[in-house]
Amino acid sequence: MRPLCILLLLLLFSGCLGRNDRVEGAAEAESEPEPALFTAEDPAPAYDALRDRAAGLASRLADGLDDRQLAAQVIISGIDGKGHLTADMRMLLTECPAGGIMLFKYNLDAETAAIRELIAEAAAVAAVPAVPPFVAVDHEGGAVNRFRRGVAVVPPAGSYWEMAQDRGWDSAIAHITSDSFAAGREINDLGVTMNLAPVAEYLNGENRDFLGDRSYGPSPLFTAAAAAAFIAGMEQAGVLCVVKHFPGSAGADPHLFPSVLKGDKAALVELSAPVASLIRGNQVRAIMVSHSAVPALDSENIASLSPAVMGGWLRQELGFDGLIICDDFSMASAVGPSAVGGLKPEMAAVRSLAAGADMVLVWPPDLRRTHRAILAALGDGRLSRERLREAAGRIIFEKIRMKLIDGEGNDE
């Protein structure tokens, strides 16, 4: 692509051309809906005022949480049930009102009405005063789709790279935005408010076998622009995106095998360039940190347990002030002796939060154990209340920004 086109593309997705340009594909058939959130694309004085008001409200709401609620707010939990929660799950969410609930195929293999009923019930049970939970799902597109066939269809990410070669980058980016927006409206209508997507990792010789068409292709520039387009569409529809995976993935499936990023810091910086671009453009508000080992930065901890990765690199070097989320610690890349010294998932979750994560994912059987482990760590000083309070403040800020919480702090 010619340099001028690249410049225009980067300007487009740094927010300089406004929201209407980013959803033009979705707006052709109908007028654009009222924005579901406030973003840095709003006029500076308005954005600053909204951000400051939301930050103040988030701080007050976080301060109002007791220890039980605070320890639960940093958890995203899977749930048991289809159409309705199981009795045990209802009791568990009442005891541990998770800050987010996660839906999987076993929850979503149902008719639309049943999905809505399950989400509404789970969200109501998990809510604490004035603070509802996020409702999350993995909806990258292609094969990573938890819904029944035909629901909120998004093509695989790799297909847009192919489109870019045939029809040009601008056409591919416009399709990503409109496809994401359409799917976002459909899943948001069901009650979903968080999407663990997109994958902002470009293909290379190390990760190709694992990522395949989950990646937007081999170009870091296109990957950054494509991820920004996906986020723009989803968030315009009211769904917060969680970009995956920082600083990157290795060749083995981390669900089954240990994952090691062997390069030096320069190689890691190159690998994570698309995510860094999204942070610089203020286009990403939530990032999932991988369970990959990063010996160049931390010889003892995987990324999801590393203060050097989460606090040093993401927060201090890159200036990221959004949510840091870590995948569940039952994955093989997280539970092996070389990863976390054989720690149980709930203890790994505590260490992750202490190291800088804001939210951790758990399966239903691990929810009570993780919640109790956080409370125990809070009691004996391994995890400070200020650290949890900081995390809860960020979580609640994003719930306000996404309009899960209204401007007065009441559920909508």
- pLDDT per position as a tens digit, 167-197: 999 999 999 999 999 999 999 999 999 999 9
Cβ contact 192:178 at 8 Å: no
Instruction: List Cβ neighbours of 124 (8 Å cut-off, separation of 6 or more).
Output: none
The 3-class SS string of 40-98 reads: CCCCHHHHHHHHHHHHHHHHHHHHCCCHHHHHHHCEEEECCEECEECHHHHHHHHHCCC
pLDDT surpasses 60 at 8: no
Token couple for 92: 């568990």
Residue 392 one-letter amino acid = A
**Rounded distance, CA 298 to CA 273, Å?**
19
- pLDDT for 259: 77
By CB neighbour count within 10 A (0-12 exposed, 13-18 middle, 19+ buried), where does 300 fall?
exposed
- pLDDT per position as a tens digit, 117-137: 999 999 999 999 899 999 999
**Average pLDDT, rounded, for the chain:** 86
- pLDDT per position as a tens digit, 216-275: 999 999 999 999 999 999 999 999 999 999 998 876 655 555 678 888 999 999 999 999
By percentage, how much of the chain surpasses pLDDT 90? 71
Catalytic residue among 21, 138, 255, 411: 255
- pLDDT for 38: 65
- pLDDT per position as a tens digit, 331-347: 755 554 444 456 789 99
Q: Three-state DSSP class for 138?
A: coil
Catalytic residue among 179, 298, 327, 328: 327
Q: Three-state DSSP class for 136?
A: strand
Instruction: List Cβ neighbours of 254 (8 Å cut-off, separation of 6 or more).
Output: 210, 290, 291, 292, 327, 331, 332, 333, 334
DSSP-assigned letters across all residues of 147-202: SPTTSS----HHHHHHHHHHH-HHHHHHHHHHHHHHHHHHHHHHT--EE---B---
Instruction: List Cβ neighbours of 145 (8 Å cut-off, separation of 6 or more).
Output: 139, 151, 152, 153, 154
* 326 membership: H or E segment, kind and range: strand 323-326
pLDDT surpasses 80 at 30: no
Q: Three-state DSSP class for 239?
A: coil
- pLDDT for 100: 98
Q: Is 166 a catalytic residue?
A: no
- pLDDT per position as a tens digit, 361-404: 999 999 999 999 999 999 999 999 999 999 999 999 999 999 99
Q: Is 327 a catalytic residue?
A: yes
Over the range 126-145, which residues count as b (16 or more CB within 10 Å of their CB) and which as e?
bebebbbbbbbbbbbbeebb
User: Domain segments of the chain: what residues?
Assistant: 3-47+73-383
- pLDDT per position as a tens digit, 57-109: 999 999 999 999 999 999 999 999 999 999 999 999 999 999 999 999 999 99
By CB neighbour count within 10 A (0-12 exposed, 13-18 middle, 19+ buried), where does 92 fall?
buried
- pLDDT for 250: 75
CATH number 3.20.20.300 is the correct assignment for the domain at 3-47+73-383: yes
pTM greater than the 0.95 cutoff: no
- pLDDT per position as a tens digit, 68-77: 999 999 999 9
* 294 membership: H or E segment, kind and range: none
**Rounded distance, CA 264 to CA 274, Å?**
18
